[in-house]
Structure 1
Amino acid sequence: MRVPRPRRPRQFRLADSAQQIVGGFLLAGPFVVTEEVWTLAESMSLLQAVLTMGVVSAIGYGALYTADTTRDPDAEQEVAGVPVRFISLLCVSVGSVLILALLFDAPATFLEGETDAGKVEITLKAVSVGSVFSIVGAATADSVFSK
């Protein structure tokens, strides 16, 4: 009888993050420059933004570990019990939306007349909305190209 070897965590590579970045930026762009997203963000509460980030996390985790049945979260590198791949995915999806929003000067364009504090709050809400779409692109690129 053969004794199974313990599974070593799969190494998370820089190439994995690069794949996520391509997918994240690809789907983030259209939502950063859409006035409707910024109008929606203005009317959202902070609770709604936090709940939206919960949805983003659920989509990301589901895409990485439920939709892709070949990937086991327990067999990956972890930080504080959370897979590094998932942490990277969240950072990429939120970061890509935020970077594009700032590069395109979207807060100044769509939030004229707002105070600086108001612009920061609304920008964070808009980032939560854009991240819903960005995480789909990032997770898809990660799953398709990491085989």
Structure 2
Amino acid sequence: MKIRRPHRPPQFRLADSAQQIVGGFLLAGPFVVTEEVWRLADSMSIVQGLATMGIVFAIGYATLYKADSTRDPEVERELVGIPIRFISLMCVSFGSVTLLALLFDAPDTFLESGETSAQTALITFKAVSIGSIFSVVGAATADSVFSR
């Protein structure tokens, strides 16, 4: 007779971050180098940029903990009360878009040369929030699919 052990959700590992990074970069790239994204970001208000960030957080949480029934945020390791897997996901989602935007010199390429550095930073923040919607989908999907 075989003894059954209770099912424990997989613990977050460094390999999970690597999977998130691959998924996050995969879907972030095309949106960083699209002029339409930068024009859209330029026309958005700060409230719209913050709301877009909120959508990224909601998509990430829902994908990690609602779409995947094997994960429970209550039993995962935490940092200041937030699951480390979720913190990693947000860092990858926003970080991959930010890094690609800066490496590809997207702000200088797509924004008017007359913008102040504060305006450029604000538009870049909004463009990053747009790109992060797609990056979080890739990062969370890669984490969920390959973390078994």
* TM exceeding 0.5: yes
- Structure 2: gaps (5+ residues): none
Superposed counterparts of 1:59-98, under 5 Å: 59-98=59-98
The letter of the residue matching 1:131 is: S
2:43 counterpart residue number: 43
2:136 counterpart residue number: 135
2: CA distance between counterparts of 1:9 and 1:136? 21
Q: Per-residue deviation at 1:12? A: 2.1
2:119 counterpart residue number: 118
TM-score normalised by length of structure 1:
0.92
Q: Structure 1 segments of 4 or more deviating over 4 A?
A: 5-10
2: CA distance between counterparts of 1:19 and 1:9? 17
SS at structure 2 position matched to 1:74? coil
SS at structure 2 position matched to 1:127? helix
Percent of residue pairs bearing the same amino acid type: 73
Q: Per-residue deviation at 1:6? A: 10
Check the 8 A contact 2:20/2:89 in 1, yes or no: yes
TM-score normalised by length of structure 2:
0.92
Check the 8 A contact 1:8/1:75 in 2, yes or no: no
1:12 counterpart residue number: 12
Q: Per-residue deviation at 1:10? A: 5.2
1: CA distance between counterparts of 2:145 and 2:11? 17
Check the 8 A contact 2:97/2:128 in 1, yes or no: yes
Check the 8 A contact 1:7/1:75 in 2, yes or no: no
1: CA distance between counterparts of 2:6 and 2:80? 20
Q: Per-residue deviation at 1:11? A: 3.5
2: CA distance between counterparts of 1:40 and 1:132? 14
Paired residues, what number? 143
- Structure 1: gaps (5+ residues): none
